[in-house]
Amino acid sequence: MTTQQIIRSKNLIEIYRLIDRNPRISRTTLAKITRLSKTTVSSVVDELIAGGYVLDCGKVVSGQQGRRPNELCVNGAGNVVAVISWRRARLDVALVSSDGHIALRSQVPLTEEDDGVDKIVQTFFETLVPAAGSARIMGVSIIIPGIVDSERRRILSTVIGVGFDDPVVQRLDRALAGYPLCFLNDTACFAYAESVFTQIEDRHFAYINVSKGVGACLFSDGKMLRGAGAMATQFGHYSIDRDGPRCECGNRGCLECLVGENALGRRAAERGLDVGTLGGRKLLYSDVGAMAQSGDVKARALIGDLAKDLAFGISNLIALFNPSLIILGGTGVNLGPCFLEDVRRDLSGMGFREFVDRVRIKYSGLGLDAELTGAAQYYIDHHYDFSGNDQQELFLR
């Protein structure tokens, strides 16, 4: 690619992102922000409009005198990202429009006998492609609860039973040939949605996903450390009890096997919590939160246990990274406000005081669909090429 092509591609990406983040922005404002000439901005905008990525929405309504500039917005109806979140017992699938709205959302069950790769390919071609209709599928984002190793082009997830030696990446790359394909870690998708769709002013913050497992994603100077592959940290496999229960990773006393939702059954039994009303199904955070809310003292004590263990792990994360903000997300928020209060209280008596005292901890304000919208937005922001170059690529970062 020549220098001129690189500059053109960079300008297309920058202008598109500004329009995406600032709906109804004008060409004049774009020129002021980017410090590009009005001629260059107009040329780039015209190319994005011709490509079907941006729409000219007409005149800006303002009190200013003189000629009113035209408003610009991204063409969400004409461009979508196919997102598939691969879980142990199901696929969460969606078409996410380029303006961040979920156009289609569905679930596909997975059994022990199903081949996950085959099911993904079948779902993509039989469900997502027809549902996209005339809209352009910009790419396919596969979300996994595990590690995406970009250097060796492989993935690892104990949750869905994929090892580094399994040729999952290569199989999907071949089967979905013709569509750009990326693999992303689930916690990173939640975290990226938080960074894009909410007003975070902190330069250094951490997002902690408390769900069936536990994960963390770190942001420094507003940028995600080492991309969306979970290669910067494996917070869920930080051991807080070397004599604790054996984790699937082979270690003992990992946060994931002490605080994760999959550990609730064992932790509830230790507290003598009555789960007979569940009819044999797995105990969930929402169950414990509801029990505590209704006055069950054992459920309340269990929440305290989980909070203390998580706070211990967070105190060490703070000592290593020194964030000013920690956001707790995932299904763990269903434990309710008392869980957050307990984490804050326990953390106040732990760790390196100079760092801990500066940290704010809060729940995420986004729902679980943020995983899907975050995956689509990350793909568009980091991988999509608006200049029309060959898009048949594989991305693992």
**194 inside domain:** no
Residue 236 in this model has a pLDDT that exceeds 70: yes
Query: Which of 74, 94, 120 marks a domain boundary?
Result: 74
Residue 96 in this model has a pLDDT that exceeds 70: yes
**212 inside domain:** yes
The whole-number pLDDT of residue 1 equals 61
Do 70 and 91 reside in the same domain of the chain?
no
Spatial CA neighbour of 141 closest among 389, 377, 388: 377
Do 232 and 353 reside in the same domain of the chain?
yes
Residue 388 in this model has a pLDDT that exceeds 80: no
Tell me the pLDDT band of 4, cut-offs 50, 70 and 90. Answer: confident
3 state DSSP class of 341: helix
Do 207 and 285 reside in the same domain of the chain?
yes
DSSP secondary structure code for residue 162 in this structure? B
Do 120 and 56 reside in the same domain of the chain?
no
Residue 103 in this model has a pLDDT that exceeds 90: yes
Do 332 and 208 reside in the same domain of the chain?
yes
Residue 125 belongs to a domain with what CATH number?
3.30.420.40
Mean local confidence (pLDDT), 210-238 = 94
Residue 387 in this model has a pLDDT that exceeds 80: yes
- Residues in a beta bridge with 162: 157
Tell me the pLDDT band of 391, cut-offs 50, 70 and 90. Answer: low
Q: Which amino acid is at 185?
A: N
Tell me the pLDDT band of 68, cut-offs 50, 70 and 90. Answer: low
Mean local confidence (pLDDT), 294-321 = 97
Residue 50 belongs to a domain with what CATH number?
1.10.10.10
Q: Which residues contact 254 (CB under 8 A, 6 or more apart)?
A: 236, 237, 238, 239, 240, 244, 247
Tell me the pLDDT band of 389, cut-offs 50, 70 and 90. Answer: low
Do 126 and 62 reside in the same domain of the chain?
no
Helices (DSSP H) in 250-336: which residue ranges? 255-259, 264-271, 285-293, 297-321
3 state DSSP class of 137: strand
**Domain containing residue 330:** 199-365
Question: Average pLDDT of the chain?
Answer: 93
Do 207 and 130 reside in the same domain of the chain?
no
Do 213 and 300 reside in the same domain of the chain?
yes
Do 203 and 350 reside in the same domain of the chain?
yes
Query: Is residue 13 within a helix (H) or strand (E), and if so which, with residue range?
Result: helix 3-21
Distance CA 345, CA 144 (A): 33
Tell me the pLDDT band of 219, cut-offs 50, 70 and 90. Answer: very high
Do 250 and 379 reside in the same domain of the chain?
no
Do 29 and 137 reside in the same domain of the chain?
no
Spatial CA neighbour of 144 closest among 180, 124, 116, 125: 116
Q: Token digits for 130?
A: 């027809």
Residue 60 in this model has a pLDDT that exceeds 70: no
| Number of structural domains found in the chain | 3
Tell me the pLDDT band of 71, cut-offs 50, 70 and 90. Answer: very high
Residue 334 in this model has a pLDDT that exceeds 60: yes
Distance CA 273, CA 302 (A): 8
Do 10 and 50 reside in the same domain of the chain?
yes
pLDDT (tens digit, 9 = 90+) per residue, 248-293?
889 999 999 999 999 999 999 999 999 988 988 999 999 999 999 9
Helices (DSSP H) in the chain: which residue ranges? 3-21, 27-34, 38-50, 116-123, 129-132, 168-175, 186-197, 255-259, 264-271, 285-293, 297-321, 337-347, 353-356, 370-382
Other CB atoms within 10 Å distance of the CB of residue 83: 28
Q: Which amino acid is at 244?
A: G
132, 124 in Cβ contact below 8 A? no
pTM over 0.85: yes
**267 inside domain:** yes
DSSP secondary structure code for residue 125 in this structure? I
**311 inside domain:** yes
